[in-house]
Chains A and B, each alone.
Chain A
Amino acid sequence: MIKAILVFNNHGKPRLSKFYQYFNEDMQQQIIKETFQLVSKREDNVCNFLEGGSLIGGSDYKLIYRHYATLYFVFCVDSSESELGILDLIQVFVETLDKCFENVCELDLIFHADAVHHILAELVMGGMVLQTNMTDILARIEEQNKLVKQEAGISAAPARAVSAVKSMNIPQQIKDIKLPDLPQAIKDLKF
């Protein structure tokens, strides 16, 4: 069984959290924080398995994670899951996201958190792996999106237009994003 699926960025900001066992919100945040601290201090060339998260699970549970560019994908699983299998599942998940968002990046996950949830729901259901075949998954997602479009129909057009207009200034906002103060970063580099 999968106990939780977490996606957060390199700074520990949650981008997706799915718990298959109930924790209240404070606890969830703590778990995300702890998991981030555990995972982020590991270098990229060490193994992708981690034991000893004290908040989630016990000795039977493992954290299996992958690090893609700016995002960590962490699965907390128990011993009935195959470690390498889950690693593959993460890969399937990310590739599916990539297909759905056409070159997925962190921004897609930020602005379409709900869509990511819907995609995940086609892979994992209630903590159990539902489907691992990417073509099947994509087909299901496509059909559901079609359904949503149908329902929206003509009445949604104005709303879409408005949100399109609102989204227009995204490039401007990207420019506005504060960059980390580079001098400091450079100072930290040691040769």
Chain B
Amino acid sequence: MALKKVKGNFERMFDKNLTDLVRGIRNNKDNEAKYIAQCIEEIKQELRQDNINVKCNAVAKLTYIQMLGYDISWAGFNIIEVMSSSRFTCKRIGYLAASQCFHPDSELLMLTTNMIRKDLNSQNQYDAGVALSGLSCFISPDLSRDLANDIMTLMSSTKPYLRMKAVLMMYKVFLRYPEALRPAFPKLKEKLEDPDPGVQSAAVNVICELARKNPKNYLPLAPVFFKLMTTSTNNWMLIKIIKLFGALTPLEPRLGKKLIEPLTNLIHSTSAMSLLYECINTVIAVLISISSGMPNHSASIQLCVQKLRILIEDSDQNLKYLGLLAMSKILKTHPKSVQEHKDLILACLDDKDESIRLRALDLLYGMVSKKNLMEIVKRLLGHMERAEGSLYRDELLFKVIEICSQSSYLYVTNFEWYLTVLVELIQLEAGSKHGRLIAEQLLDVAIRVPVVRQFAVNEMTNLLDTFSISSQSNSMYEVLYAAAWIVGEFSNDLEDAERTLNILLRPRQVPGHIQGVFVQNVTKLFTKLATTCLENKDVSGLIRLCDHALEKLQSFSSSNDIEVQERANASCILIEMLRSQFSKDSSYHKRTTMVALSTDGVENLPELDASTIPAIIPTLAIEIVQEMALLFDGELIPVAPKAQRKVPLPDGLDLDEWINVPPEDESSNSSQEDKDELFVSAAHNDSGALSKRRKSEELTPEQIERNRMARLIEQSHNPHYIKSSPSATEMNKQKGPSANNTSYNVDQYDNIDEIPISELSLDVPLQIGVMKRSDRYLIQEKTMSKEKKKHKKSKKSKRSKNKVAYSSSESEDDSKPLHIVNTIMDMPEGVALSDSEDKDCKFDPNDPHRALNIELDIPDLEETKGRYHEVKPAPQNQNNNSQTLINEIDSKNKTKKRDKKKSKSKVNDVEELERRNKDEDSVPKSHVKSKSKKKSKSNANTSNTDLLDISPEMIKSFAKTTLDDSISTVEKRKKEKSHKSKDTSKGTVSVKKEKKAKHHRSHSKEKKHSILESSIGGYEEAIGISTPSKEII
């Protein structure tokens, strides 16, 4: 035996250890993968040996290899072997490997339960400590359930080291097995007053985490925390407590009032920046929670803002960042106090640090006014040109739109400027994901600001003309949707409607929903043009128009997209109807026009027609045009976002009633089919049409294939059919007319190229390089304001008149057209636009803390006494509860050291009794609660007492079912989570590392020279840490 051991050790000397492995990898930089593969083979051999030390060495190497990105889960069983070794050295290596590669879904974990339990109960505190550390990384719901009791026992261990770890461990247990929270809570509460500060801190930490979900549960602990806050000097713990109070104050405003004073004291007294910052944060939270009707708190706000200003002005970028972060919280409730520091925030916009600029952007929302909006937007646009990284650019774009559009464009004084800015944004940010947002803005402005429409339609025509869809997947093409709609809807303001019509009729590769809008607006434009033709009695023009539009629309009517097809067909028919009125009069004319069109285009027709055709317009044609005009008549006003919801339910309409009585549940085998035919169920039995339809649905794949082939053949023979695939048309285009037999297509494309439009498309891009068009407005405004100053005296009287007329503002220019934003919204009759938001309950299935949303009624000390001495069924009122808590804080404030011991000893045995009871009833209770949270508390309580009478067997079985439930939900959540992480994995980031790397290479000659040596002296300057660690510890 001894000999074997010695032999084992001897062999070990020549095995590769971790250091050798690392060295080997470094020496084989060129073929690292090959070397590691070889090492893994060796490791596999080592793992097959019996000697635990050899295995241990192998597992240590695996842990290192795992860090390099290699999957080592295949060695899971060996890792468990190493974990189960009796030697601390091996155990530690085993648990480390396990913590790196096991996860809650590992099936191997089933094997570990008893081994971990043994370790937890080990005599050696470090065995248990290592086990806890490892377990915290991979604990599964099963392990949590099985080990909860052991960990709870450790919470009252004699060794503070273990108590501390066990307390933290309990949080992980709660996450996986929420049922443990109820029985463990009293003990956790005790730990808040543990003699060891580390354990105290751990308990605070756990409760802080717990309070992220359902903080109401922890309100009754406020007095304890309050005491800790006023007595403790451990900054780390203070920070946590103060953060916790920040979460609690919204629930209990009176708590906030109590907090203000000690927090302000801390702000004044502390030298630790981290603590100061958290104090400010919590004071802000308190001030937000206290309604604004408290004038005496303005001092606190002032204090906060002042301190934040100091932070922002600090040379330490970290403090600057945090200062801005906190500022944005104040901005929401006290915008005035932040606005005083406008200068500071605007200065931060130019900071070299992107994080800081982003934070300053958040604040910008509250900083703009009519006077500085243009200036700020100009700066942002400038940033956008220079900025790298799509994230930041997108954010900038979003902010530009946000600050301009806030409160119904309150600060926009010139909408022509705003539209120009939007168009510039479109040109600047072709890759942005905010295309839809810009499109919405364009629509909104065009609809709600009537005076700017003329400008808008012309701008949009240019946009339609010049915008090219790049191949990258982006959403910017959405703006075409808006542009097409605007030019169509407000076609009366167009300068050259015919040109716009031609632009819209151009074939392009755009998504169906946008092409559909194009077609629809072609109809609008056509109507407009037709009406003008009628007014001018220009028959030939009208005919020409009809033929031109018809010809172009034909191509759309065979579009891939059903929407485009439908709209194109509808328009074609309408126009054909109109056209047919003229063909009756002169059938030969049609021929000439067609010929003319297909040969020469549109240009040289008018003279010819005018000479041959008498200008008599058939009355029916006039009627048709008028009817068409009527189609698009009337002003559109924006629809309020909530309008749909506010439509009142008409009398006698019962939405829950069946429209058709659902069929009896026959013996039909597929319920899916029934569902499909819910609405025709009356005719379900023997309707011929229906059975036909069902037949067509039941085509076999072969039939479908055959039909498809037939259709394809038919299509290829049909000269009027335009090939749907873009590549085909592309090819045709390239090959030229001689190369293929679908010459119709080619002709059409040739014609399009001849349409004299393309030369117009130059003006917009050319101007951009020189000066941004939007800047023109800024300069204009500046000169205006200068003039204004000159004429101030003479203006005064005028101005007062203006004020009467438009009560809106101070900075309107007299010469400029006043832009009035139409704020009328379309709403159902008799309904007013209210601000009350129907809040949808937000529910995030991926929230890891969701399971902790348990209601814990923590009985107060007095309450407990009452309940157990004289069974008191009265419901525990939340209000009462908080009242007692406030009283308690008061009393504690006054007499800090009351005879606590006395009451505690009395309570202790009561609590013990209660705890035992609770262990039994906790599971059913939580079940009841989670099923129907809205049940009143009294209900829950009574059911609770009822349940106590149930036999233990029943409770057990019940507990089991609920357990299974909870586990399955946990598993589900896991899956969802993993899905999510997969989705997000596709983010990409631009790289710029080489330069940086080279810069640092000179430092990193990998010599044995200390990291700290260079940083200890230098780090304070280099990184600018304002808070040396001594402050905190």
Binding site for B on A (CB under 8 A): 1, 9-12, 14, 16-18, 20, 22-30, 34, 36-38, 40-52, 54-55, 66-71, 80, 82-85, 87-88, 91-92, 94-95, 98, 103-107, 110-111, 113-114, 117-118, 121, 125-134, 136, 140, 143-144, 147-148, 151-152, 155-156, 158-159, 162-163, 166-167, 173-174, 177, 179-180, 184-185, 188
Contact = CB atoms under 8 A, between A and B. Distances in A.
A116 B991 CA distance: 29
Contact of A88 (B165, B1011, B1015, B1031): B1031
A63 B198 CA distance: 26
B449 interface: no
B996 interface: yes
Contact of A47 (B87, B130, B132, B321): B321
Contacts of A91: 1025, 1028-1029
Nearest to B392: A52
Nearest to A92: B1029
Contacts of A71: 1011
- Interface of chain B: mostly helix, strand, loop or mixed: helix
B1022 A44 contact: yes
A130 B356 contact: no
A108 B1015 CA distance: 17
B504 to A, nearest CB: 39
A180 B274 contact: no
Contacts of B27: 173
Contacts of A128: 168, 171, 202, 205-206, 209
Given A69-B1015, A162-B13, A80 B243 contact: yes
B132 A125 contact: yes
Contacts, number: 283
A126 to B, nearest CB: 3
A26 B1033 contact: no
Given A25-B71, A98-B1010, A37 B981 contact: no
A121 B240 CA distance: 21
A63 to B, nearest CB: 10
A101 B253 CA distance: 51
A92 B274 CA distance: 15
B396 to A, nearest CB: 14
B278 A47 contact: no
B22 A111 contact: yes
Contacts of B6: 155
A185 B998 contact: yes
A16 B100 CA distance: 11
A126 B993 contact: no
Nearest to B272: A84
Interface string B90-130: 00110010001001110000000000000000001010001
A98 B19 CA distance: 20
Interface string B10-33: 101110011110110011000000
Contact of B236 (A40, A70, A132): A132
A104 B1029 contact: no
B997 interface: yes
25 contacts: A10-B1004, A20-B137, A22-B105, A24-B71, A27-B985, A46-B317, A47-B353, A49-B355, A51-B355, A68-B1015, A68-B1019, A80-B243, A82-B278, A92-B1029, A94-B1012, A98-B1012, A104-B1010, A118-B96, A125-B165, A125-B169, A128-B168, A130-B168, A166-B20, A177-B1005, A185-B998
Given A44-B1023, A104-B1011, A133-B198, 5 more contacts: A28-B69, A68-B1012, A70-B1004, A70-B1011, A94-B1011
B444 to A, nearest CB: 27
Interface in B973-1007: 981, 984-985, 987, 989-993, 995-998, 1000-1007
Contacts of A98: 1010-1012
A84 B355 contact: no
Can you list the 3 inter-chain pairs with the closest CB atoms, starting with the nearest?
A126-B136, A54-B987, A84-B274
Contacts of A136: 198
Contacts of A110: 22, 26
A107 B1006 contact: yes
B318 A47 contact: yes
B131 to A, nearest CB: 11
A14 B63 CA distance: 13
Given A25-B66, A49-B318, A125-B133, A107 B1008 contact: yes
Given A107-B1006, A113-B64, A37 B1011 contact: no
Contacts of A126: 133, 136-137, 168-169, 171-172
Contacts of B998: 180, 184-185, 188
Which residue of A133, A156, A174 has the most chain B CB atoms within 10 A of its CB atom?
Answer: A133
A158 B53 CA distance: 14
Given A27-B981, A103-B1012, A84 B66 contact: no
Interface in B855-891: none
A148 B88 contact: yes
A134 B1030 CA distance: 10
B530 interface: no
Contacts of B23: 111, 173
B602 interface: no
Nearest to A38: B989
B22 A55 contact: no
A179 B19 CA distance: 22
B1033 A30 contact: no
A87 B39 CA distance: 38
B243 A151 contact: no
Contact of A34 (B171, B202, B989, B1000): B989
Nearest to B989: A37
Nearest to B66: A25
A70 B202 contact: no
Nearest to A177: B1006
A163 B1012 contact: no
Nearest to A32: B69
A76 B18 CA distance: 28
Contacts of A36: 993
A18 B96 CA distance: 10
A188 B352 CA distance: 23
B352 A131 contact: no
Contacts of A27: 981, 985
A105 B321 CA distance: 30
Contact of B1001 (A22, A148, A185): A185
Contact of A105 (B71, B991, B1008): B1008
Contacts of B236: 85, 129, 132
Given A50-B355, A91-B1025, A104-B1012, A69 B1003 contact: yes
Given A23-B981, A49-B321, A132 B1033 contact: yes
Nearest to B391: A52
B181 interface: no
Contacts of B22: 110-111, 113
Nearest to A99: B1012
Contacts of A23: 981
Interface string B496-511: 0000000000000000
A104 B1009 CA distance: 8
Which residue of B5, B138, B240 has the most chain A CB atoms within 10 A of its CB atom?
Answer: B240
Which residue of A20, A42, A121 has the most chain B CB atoms within 10 A of its CB atom?
Answer: A121
Contacts of B171: 126, 128
B758 interface: no
A159 B12 contact: yes
B1022 A25 contact: no
Contacts of A103: 1008, 1010, 1012-1013
A76 B341 CA distance: 32
Contacts of A25: 66, 69-71
Contacts of A111: 18-19, 22-23
A70 B105 CA distance: 37
B329 to A, nearest CB: 12
Contacts of A67: 1023
Contacts of B17: 159, 163
B411 to A, nearest CB: 27
B20 A144 contact: no
